[in-house]
Amino acid sequence: MIGRDLLGIEDLDRSDIERILQTAEHMGEIGEREVKKVPTLRGRTLVNLFFEPSTRTQTSFEIAGKRLSADVVNFSPRSSSLTKAESILDTARTLDAMDPDAVVVRHAVAGVPKRIADVLEAPVINAGDGAHEHPTQALLDLFTVRREKGRIDGLTVTIVGDIVHSRVARSNIYGFLKMGAEVRLAAPPPMIPAAVETLGVKAFTSLREALDGADVVMALRIQNERFAGSYFPSVREYAATFGIDRATLRYAKDDAIVMHPGPVNRGVELSHDLADHRPSVILDQVRNGVSIRMAVLYLISGRLHRGGVA
């Protein structure tokens, strides 16, 4: 059950997710207007607190906030995984003293948004914490799939790549399972978390088997600079075994769509051609991200007012 914060998909139930998707459906229409702005959050302040740089997610939240007329402030303090929790919380408390109405937090360490939420007055939205969760990414992925396929229930979704380090994978596993999809994972064995099947997913080390009959193929970014040589022998070998191109896509359903949270390593996770053209829906994911974040800000900010009408 969701409280006033949005820390992870794990905390949501199906009706919460459906309500967010439904709200996002209507938010998308605002982006098509002459004036792409509604006065809903006029006079409210949204702080983007990004300890880890992320142009895409931060920009998406910024546009979402501005379309709802919130004042958006970006704050990117320097911080590493070695920074003491106390100094992170100090930063958060300092911000809180300036009375923001919602704080979007990204940090390289899992659990930091939760720690910050515990000390803040303002609601906290997790924009990605370590390998834990990235709830708005999963919501926009669910939204994109539902728009493409008309449903999520009963679909087969294959997530390919670095599952073990991926907050996107974790949030999507929770999200797609809660919405009634079958979730499959495909990766080199070291990139599949131990005991992941207890979540209710099926893990494969053969891409071909994992793709068989899939409706949705979701490739994850490989951080090749960090992992080549340790988790897989070489980037070239990864691309040959787990890269998606039109040939491997033939194992999936004819109308399968291809997704990627971006940025794509072209020629590694996806072939150059797939990175830019249907059936990949990568730019739709980006566009839908704004609608989803508008929906989340709208729904979260309903609890913002202090001492309003009972």
Partner 1 sequence: MSRLIGHGRPGILKGANAALLTPSRETDKGATLTQDEVQEKAPGEPRGARNGPRTILDETGIRRTLMRIAHEILERTEDPGLLYLVAIPNGGVPLAREIARNLRQIAGIDVAVGILDTTLYRDDLTTTAERPLLRLTEMPSAVDGRIVILVDDVVKTGRTIRAAMDALMDFGRPQVVQVVGLVDRGHRELPIKLDYVGKNVPTSPNENLRLRGDAGELRGRLELVLEPSDAADSDDSSRSARKGGGA
Q: List residues binding partner 1 (CB under 8 A).
A: 1-5, 7, 11-12, 15-16, 19-20, 22-23, 26-27, 29-30, 33-35, 37-40, 43, 68, 114, 117-118, 298-303, 305, 308-309
Residue 12 or 173 having the CB closest to partner 1? 12
Phi-psi region of 153 (alpha: psi -120 to 50; beta: other; left: phi over 0): beta
Residue 115's closest CA among 88, 137, 95?
88
Least spacing, CB of residue 219 vs partner 1, in Å: 30
Residue 11 or 212 having the CB closest to partner 1? 11
d(CA 129, CA 115): 11
Asked if 157 and 135 count as a contact pair (C-beta separation under 8 A), the reply is no
Residue 76's closest CA among 115, 38, 104, 40?
104
Other Cβ atoms less than 10 A from the Cβ of 75: the count is: 16
Least spacing, CB of residue 4 vs partner 1, in Å: 6
Handedness of CA 168, 171, 173, 175 (dihedral sign): negative
Residue 35 or 194 having the CB closest to partner 1? 35
Residue 193 DSSP code: P
Least spacing, CB of residue 3 vs partner 1, in Å: 4
Residue 11 or 71 having the CB closest to partner 1? 11
Least spacing, CB of residue 44 vs partner 1, in Å: 9
Residue 34 or 255 having the CB closest to partner 1? 34
Least spacing, CB of residue 34 vs partner 1, in Å: 5
